[in-house]
Amino acid sequence: MLGCGLTVPFSVFRLSENTAWEDGVFTGGFQNFHQYRFYSIATEDFAFAIVHPGRTETVFDEHILRAFLCVGDGS
């Protein structure tokens, strides 16, 4: 999306201080790219992350995503 791939130091992608961790979901923004935000969720076996324009509201059903990530853990 940025066109730089991994050719830049990882510090360029540093997360901002306004990140939040709630009920297994990690959300926030980036220190150097204020126009983008991220949403991520992980289990022991799977991880899901998406970066989107900051003004965009995510519209996927978190319950469906959680059910998918819990496949195979006995839930």
Mean pLDDT to the nearest integer, 54-70: 74
pLDDT in tens, 5-53: 778 888 888 999 888 888 778 889 999 988 999 988 887 777 888 888 9
Contact 14, 32 (CB under 8 A): yes
Whole-number Å distance between alpha carbons of 39 and 52:
8
Helices in the chain by DSSP H: which ranges?
62-69
Sign of the dihedral defined by the CA atoms of residues 6, 7, 9, 14, in that order: negative
Please indicate whether residue 65 or residue 73 has the higher confidence score (pLDDT): 65
pLDDT (0 to 100) of residue 39: 87
For residue 52, give both structure tokens: 């989107």
